[in-house]
Amino acid sequence: MTEIRTAAKIGVLVPFTNTNLEPDMELLRPPNTTVHFQRMGGYDVDEIPGSDQMAGLGASDITHDLRMISGIRPDVVLYGCTSATLTHGPSFDAELAQQIKVGSGAVSLTAAGALIAGINAVGATKVGFSSPYLGEINAQAMDFMALNGIETVKCADVGRELGNYGQGELTPDEVFDLACRADHPDAQAIVLSCTDMRSVEAIERIEAALNKPVVTSNQAMVFGLLKALNLPRHETLPGRLFDTL
């Protein structure tokens, strides 16, 4: 069956070393939509992606990137790095979303903002949290969630420093183990933050093992764009989050 490709054009700003956001978007892409990517820099590929690195990415000038992605006349633009705005806080995240909206003429969603909306959608106020980040970014992520009324009852650290490519090389099995280590009796949901971590492929397995909803960065961005553009749920979407549509 031929797709009509007219339901929506989805623009995605993606860090230039990220190898998993694009395949995840193809897995999650709503029927009859098209997805278009603009890679962005603002960080050193050889540095460990710590708080300063990610804050630098969030604060970098994306004028050129917005001009490039605007060429497709997008209906929505996703800012595909969670930690770049988690490290700055909710006000910065909201301001960046507004900047992208003005610069692209489209609905704008950030990964960090989408993560919060996803957690709220499943009704969780206490969560287990994990990511491939260094400890400082995890602390900032927990602060970001706390400022949005979400308490982290357990945080599972990946346990080793991962470079810009290392976080993307974690396998779905390793992500599953990370999620299980983030579980806690008081956690109402499991949150997996990072657009370059292969969380999407592990969602259903984690939910089956823990009997709790899972919210991940890339899944939450697609959830947000479905709501924003009033698009229906489709069969290939993993996780209880989409049951709330």
pLDDT at 41: 76
pLDDT value at 25 more than 80: yes
Q: Tens digit of pLDDT for each residue in 117-147? A: 999 999 999 999 999 987 888 999 999 999 9
* 58 closest CA partner among 36, 83, 77: 83
Average pLDDT taken over every residue of the chain: 92
pLDDT at 59: 55
pLDDT value at 33 more than 80: yes
Where does the pLDDT of residue 45 fall: very low under 50, low under 70, confident under 90, or very high at 90 and above? low
Q: Is the pLDDT higher at 157 or at 171?
A: 171
| Separation between Cα atoms, residue 17 and residue 176, nearest integer Å | 23
% of the chain residues with pLDDT over 70: 92
Tell me the range of 85-99, 156-170, 216-230 where mean pLDDT is highest. Answer: 216-230
* Window from 104-118, 140-154, 164-178 with minimum mean pLDDT: 164-178
pLDDT at 160: 77
pLDDT at 52: 56
pLDDT at 47: 64
All structural domains of the chain: 8-114+218-238 (3.40.50.12500), 117-216 (3.40.50.12500)
pLDDT at 53: 53
pLDDT value at 57 more than 80: no
Q: Is the pLDDT higher at 30 or at 134?
A: 30
pLDDT value at 58 more than 60: no
pLDDT at 43: 58
pLDDT at 202: 98
pLDDT value at 18 more than 90: yes
pLDDT at 159: 83
